[in-house]
Structure 1
Amino acid sequence: MSRRASRSSLGGDNGEFYLECKAAYLSIYDNIKDEIDSLEDLIQVLQQAGRNPSKRVLSKYWKSDTDHLTFDDFVDICKKEKATTADDLMKAFRKIDINGDGYISLEELYKIMTTKGEKMSRSEVKKMIDEVDENKDGRLDYGEFHYPEFCKMIMETTEECKKASRKIMEKKEQKRRKEELTKTSDSRSGSQISVKSAASVKSHTERPMSASSRSNRGASLAGSRKSLLSVDDLPKPSPRNRKSKGQAAATLPKLYEPKNLKEWTHTTSKGMFFIDEDTGNLLCHQYDLKLTEETSVWITIEPIKSRCQASDQIIDTALFILREKPDDDGNVLITFTQHRDSKGKYGVKCSLDAGNYHIIPFTTGSRLKKRESESSNPVKLLQRKEGKHTITKAFRKVLEDIFDLSDLDGNGTMSREEFNWYNIRTSDEEVGDDEWEVVEERLELENGEITKNGFLQLNDLEAEDSNGDEDDMWVTLESLGINKELVMDEACPFLVNVYTEDCDDAEFKVVAIEAMMDKLQRPLCQSVMEKGEATKVKGMKDLTMYTYFGDTRASIVLDNKSYSTVRVKLDCSGSQNCLSNRPSLEESFSVKSQSQIIAYHFTPEDEDEEWSVKCTEVIQK
């Protein structure tokens, strides 16, 4: 479908219609030359234009062989599919009124909102009802009393959405004109500077809050991504053959940081992912964030490079923000990082109430894996000079890197707390008062903290006491993911930055080095089920496969709602340009009754090339 609208004839009402279409399009894309390359994006951009397409409507425009749609295609669709009216709302409410009594009960609304579109929790649905339930009977009268209020609420939100889209369009148009003027000016002056447009890169953080956006859905009916305008199931593209076009790393969009970020309170900490040498599980530094007042928060995570690190050991990273205590539905997940820039930094902005939160780093395990074998020719750690044992030059360089990575706040010295975390990881023991007294007596300190030279002194002392035995030193190195060639290949360092807008005394600190999935198993499944695409597994009506596609990650979760354990075989061998967390792309999984499991994570092997995930499933007896 590639018919072109006659833009020259679009004047008056037609001109306003075209501008509305353009504003809706530019709320999702940076340029009208960008193409709609997924059904999910088509739904979003239509919703921005005030449409709420049903499965039947969408099937007319996004067929099984559709690869993309253009802006002109989008305009044509908007011409044919009119914006939602008050009558449409009434019809939708009547469909939700399952028992036909003229009211929408909490149970009726909850059934719709948790089975269609993007799922909502019971507490979120209740909050929606409470918003307009004046007599507090726990149900909504969609007839004469509440109907005008519903319509007004949704229509006003739609208008606000249009205004927000216009503002974003104007901003992008101004930026484009400025770039063109700069380019023209440079050309006239003989400059060789080339101003490149950010076209074809989607902006996720500048999209306006649509009437169907999930983030505002608890506030009113109009704020729900699961719109009440249609009760048809939205179509779910099958993850059995889903292509995720990988952008070149250099062209991934810049993260849109808050404009006044320099004025926010900033705390930071390094951390590391480790592979447990005994279990093979992924471990990592984990954090608590304490807020004394409500505030907007901007949090980023990115891998950092160390000299001793393997050249290809830059891994995928992400962050999950969890409540300290579960909500009414038993969920702890608040949000997680989804979008990444070209340098590997992920970021997420959200608003948090005063309280305590868990900040858990995450990596898929697709790139960070247990080494297959040890070197048969290990590097020497000690040498004998002038009658005593000292550390070698190669070992000293690695120790310097270890110090830099253990200096979590990056101030150039190692505090007692930082030294304690280093000791817990390398010896499973905390630093007691007696041990710290020895540190204070024998090592170089600065403001009560160990300097890099002091840390090297500590290792010199251990070398002197070793009598040439390197075993204990190798235990320390191996616990930090460093192999016999003094290369870090079973660990990866990262940097976390936390910015708070209104809370000047926010406390962000390391609280554990633990198995990553101890706290993330359920939140990770929840995130995939909320943000991913659902497909019913053939032959098992109560088994659903959810597939989430992020900028550089795909994840598959199996959800078993039946009352018996199910065994299913997944064959992902047809995937292209993919690395996986599993040793094989063809494995069988047992899913217990009323539970979910994470089956696979994928990342592109080469981010500059297209990558695709293809998965078929078979129920096993």
Structure 2
Amino acid sequence: MASTPGNQKATHLEHSRGKKSQHAEEAIFYMNCRAAYLTVLKSSLENIKSKEQLSLVLQQAGRNPSQKTINKYWTSQTPSLNFDDFCAILRKEKPATKNELLEAFGKIDTDKVGYISHDELCKILTTRGDKMTWEEVTSITKQADFNCNGKLDYNKFCELYLSTREQCCKAARDRLETDPRLRQQHFGNQTENVPEGTTLPVSKHSPGASRKTDHKLAKGDSRAPSRPSSAQSSKASTCTTVTVGASSSRNTKLIIEPDTMKEWQWAQSRGCFYLEENGEIISHKYRLHLPQRSALWITIKPFSIPQAQGKSCHWLSVDTALFILKENETQENLQLVSFTELQNKEMFGWRGELGSGIYWLLPFTTGCRLRKEKTQIPGEAKLVWRDEDGELALTKEFRAALLDIFETIDLDGNGLLSLEEYNFFELRTSGEKCDQEAWAVCKENFEMKKNELTRQGFLDLNLMEANDRDGDPWDLWVTLLSLGYNRALEMTEACPFVIDIWAERCKPRIKAISLEAGGSQLSRALCRSVLNKGEAKVLDGSESIFIHTYRSGSRITSVIENKSENKVIIHVNNEQSKNCLNNRGLTVFAVEVAPKSMMVSQHVMALNEQEEWIYSCVHSLVC
């Protein structure tokens, strides 16, 4: 039944409100991060240099880290942590809620009287879970409200703990608001040891911008400040402006007639981008073998899963690209050949001629649209149910999600899962491979054809997993969440894609080799592609700092090249940009570039492709 215009409008309004809520939450998160950081350190560009400083900034952010937690993020190999590292830690170390605290105390209070003794508390805290030292326990119990009988009313203690935590956070925020010097600290930081292709959490506007400024930017107001807050003290700067018309970013055609490729030989492989908890993106990597020199036509695009038709496919708006590298003697010695820069809607392609040999195909996405989901899911989908005989069965919704997953992990698209394909799935969901012996057991218990698992066999395997836990869906949810699904069974933190290769004079062979982050090879290829194709500007007043800007279809990428013998800190200001979304999630930030190196400053895309967008960025030398 077709939806009415009124329903469409209501859905659009609800979607818009969800986006605004998401941006607001992200802004509050970064405000709290910055407030806590600047309570301990003088600037967001200053790094945390010790465990003690790390503990202090975490406490200012309302966390109460144990020594074990500190040691997890500060090892013997940690020289320092920057502001971005701190934000990533806060995303992982969520503050405990009152219900979680009460539940934990309730496990100690087996008699459910509402009290626990001093000795019980000390024993639990020093012997179980994330064990505390006696010194840490003593510092807690000194503040606890024990009565004369040595018992703690843990309900009151939880209220005291939560109110103290909020007061600490509020004090940090108040200090930030009242100190003009601190209010100018809108910096993000990324050191040279972070790969250029690494993606960071994204939001529409900088959390450092005022509510009033955010409103102006969202409406495309040109009255926003044209200079970064620290520009007056900068030694050198340059501004780059690119205006892109509505939908023009998708108008570049892949000009090749189907008849031209009628006799060409074809190969295909599917794959997927997966979003990690820390915002990093991993994907399949491929090896391409060409037995002889040939003209080629290579494309990559988000994969529209047949079972997903009629549902909201978030990933179809995710940008994709493919970098082609030539293997010379070793896998470590890869040379950039080219990348997919032609575009038609969501498809990107490359056409050219390659000699015989081994090539690597490295998929890439900017992270502008593939990002952590912030919207709250009102309810959790049901995965299994019991029939009249008490037997477990998969729900209709879960079966549909599993069939979608099957299409994604069936890399060769033959409707069956080989052991190799199944192991990519296992590595992603459990971190372990299935050996030949275990595969033989699968063959005995589940439907297979030609020693490959069928769709029905894959469904039955998941049903068996539910039966093993007597209907407890915990393991099933681990699988779903690791594959990018949310609790409503929507794939929101993954993007399946498909790569097609046509060769004129030989049969191309493509094979998935690994599932991992892009790494240094992709980072170098990305930077090199921008240097080769983009426009270069030297920072005014500096002879050794270059800003390279390249527009490839629907995205703009800028790379900072530092030819000097010293590291530099570059301040990046996007306040004049309109209708833009970048991969860093900050309107104003700073990056640290090592001597004699280059790194990606940012990737930028249109927030709404149906409207004109303007990329206007000022890069300034801080030091």
- Give the TM bin, normalised by the shorter chain: 0.5 to 0.7
Tell me, in whole angstroms, the C-alpha distance in 1 between the residues paired with 2:247 and 2:578. Answer: 15
User: Aligned pair 1:262/2:265, yes or no?
Assistant: no
8 Å contact kept, 2:293–2:354 = yes
2:500 maps to which residue? 497
Contact 1:289 1:507 in 2 (8 A): yes
The CA distance in 1 between the partners of 2:334 and 2:246, in whole Å, is: 32
Distance 2:275 2:312 in 1: 15
Q: 1:431 aligns with which of 431, 434, 437?
A: 434
- Give the AA of the match of 2:479: T
Task: State the distance in 2 between where 1:519 and 1:407 align.
Answer: 26
Indicate if the aligned counterparts of 1:415 and 1:448 stay in contact, CA closer than 8 A: yes
Is residue 398 of structure 2 the alignment partner of residue 399 of structure 1?
no
Aligned twin of 1:445: 448
Deviation at 1:603, TM superposition (A): 1.4
Report the AA paired with residue 267 of structure 1.
A
| Aligned position for 1:276 | 276
The SS at the match of 1:332 is strand
Cα separation, partners in 2 of 1:389 and 1:515, compared to 1, 3 Å:
same
What percentage of residue pairs aligned between the two structures are identical? Answer: 36
1:239 and 1:613 in contact (8 A); partners too = no
Structure 1 residue 607, shift from structure 2 partner? 2.2
Deviations 1:340-376 (A, max 9, x none): 113x111101211211110011111110001225535
CA contact (8 A) 2:427 2:433 kept: yes
> Structure 1 regions of 5+ residues with no counterpart?
1-237
Number of residue pairs matched by the alignment: 380
Q: Distance in 1 between matches of 2:420 and 2:257?
A: 31
- Residue 288 of structure 2 corresponds to residue 289 of structure 1: yes
Distance in 2 separating the partners of 1:557 and 1:240: 12
Instruction: Give the drift of 1:534.
Output: 0.6
Alignment match, 1:604? 606
User: Partner amino acid for 2:298?
Assistant: I
Q: Does the CA contact (< 8 Å) of 2:326 and 2:360 recur in 1? A: yes
Deviation at 1:467, TM superposition (A): 1.6
Please name the residue that 1:361 is paired with: 363
CA shift in 2, pair 1:427/1:363, >3 Å: same
Query: 2:249·2:554 contact (CA, 8 Å) conserved in 1?
Result: no
Instruction: Determine if contact 2:291/2:506 at 8 Å carries over to the other structure.
Output: yes
Offset, 1:390: 2.6
Q: Does 1:419 align with 2:422?
A: yes
> Map of 1:157-168 to 2, 5 A cutoff?
none
State the AA in 1 paired with 2:342: H
| Partner SS state of residue 521, structure 2 | helix
Q: Does 2:590 align with 1:591?
A: no
Residue 298 of structure 2 corresponds to 299
**Distance in 1 of aligned mates of 2:249 and 2:592:** 36
Contact persistence 1:326–1:332 (CA under 8 A): no
- 1:313 shift after superposition: 3.0
If the length of structure 2 is used for normalisation, what is the TM-score? 0.58
Q: Distance in 2 between matches of 1:257 and 1:538?
A: 46
Task: Specify the SS of the correspondent of 2:463.
Answer: helix
1:255: how far off? 3.5
Are 1:335 and 2:334 matched, yes or no?
Answer: no
Q: Please tell me whether the aligned partners of residues 248 and 609 of structure 1 are also in contact (alpha carbons under 8 angstroms).
A: no
Secondary structure (helix, strand or coil) at the match of 2:416 reads coil
TM-score normalised by the chain length of structure 1? 0.58
Q: Confirm or deny: 8 A CA contact 2:314 2:491 kept in the other structure.
A: no
Q: Distance in 1 between matches of 2:461 and 2:484?
A: 21
Aligned-partner residue type, residue 482 of structure 2: S
Partner Cα distance (2:452, 2:545) in 1: 55
Query: 1:380 and 1:558 mapped to 2: Cα distance?
Result: 48
Aligned equivalent of 2:377: 375
Provide the residue aligned with 1:617 in structure 2.
Answer: 619
- Please state how far the C-alpha of 1:573 moved relative to its aligned partner: 2.0
Query: C-alpha deviations, 1:33-86, integer Å up to 9, x for none?
Result: xxxxxxxxxxxxxxxxxxxxxxxxxxxxxxxxxxxxxxxxxxxxxxxxxxxxxx
The amino acid across from 1:282 in the alignment is I
Q: Once the 2 structures are TM-superposed, how far is the Cα of residue 377 of structure 1 from its aligned partner?
A: 2.4
**Separation of aligned partners in 1, 2:492 and 2:499:** 21
Letter in 2 for 1:445: M
Which of 475, 480, 484 lines up with 1:481 in the alignment? 484
Q: Counterpart of 2:580?
A: 578
Match of 2:69 in 1: none
- State the 1:417 CA deviation: 1.8
Report if the CA contact (8 A) 1:295-1:501 is conserved. yes
Deviations 1:247-268 (CA, angstroms, capped at 9, x unpaired) = 4577543442575312111110
Distance 1:572 1:453, change over 3 A: same
Q: Deviations over 1:6-48 (max 9, x none)?
A: xxxxxxxxxxxxxxxxxxxxxxxxxxxxxxxxxxxxxxxxxxx
Give the Cα–Cα distance (whole angstroms) in 1 for the partners of residues 418 and 257 of structure 2: 31
2:553 aligned residue: 551
Counterpart CA distance in 1 for 2:552 and 2:612 is 14
Residue 408 of structure 2: SS of its match in structure 1?
Answer: helix
The code of the aligned residue for 2:560 comes to L
Structure 1, 514-523 or 432-441: larger mean CA deviation: 514-523
CA contact (8 A) 1:310 1:489 kept: no
Matched, 1:240 2:240: yes
C-alpha separation in 2, matches of 1:595 and 1:353? 31
State the distance in 1 between where 2:347 and 2:329 align: 28
Residue identity matched to 2:544: D
Post-superposition Cα deviations, 1:480-506, rounded to whole Å, max 9, x if no partner, equal 1001111100001111001111123x3
How many Å apart are 1:428 and its aligned residue? 1.4
- Residues 331 and 523, structure 1, Cα contact 8 Å, conserved in 2: no
Q: In the TM superposition, what whole-angstrom CA distance separates every residue of 1:286-322 from its partner, at most 9, and x where no partner exists?
A: 1100122211221111112245574443211111101
Q: Which residue does the alignment assign to 2:93?
A: none
- Once residues 586 and 600 of structure 2 are traced to their aligned partners in structure 1, the CA distance between those partners, rounded to angstroms, is 15
Q: Distance in 2 between matches of 1:334 and 1:250?
A: 24
Q: Judge which range, 545-554 or 377-386, deviates more.
A: 377-386
Query: Looking at both structures, which has the greater relative contact order when contacts are Cα pairs under 8 Å and sequence separation is at least 6?
Result: 2
CA RMSD of aligned residues (A): 2.2
Q: Give the Å deviation of 1:382.
A: 2.1
Q: 1:370 to 1:250 in 2, by over 3 A?
A: closer
Separation in structure 2 between the aligned mates of residue 255 and residue 494 of structure 1, nearest angstrom? 21
Which residue of 352, 355, 361 maps to 2:354? 352
Contact 1:539 1:619 (C-alpha < 8 Å) held by counterparts: no
Q: 1:394 to 1:289 in 2, by over 3 A?
A: same
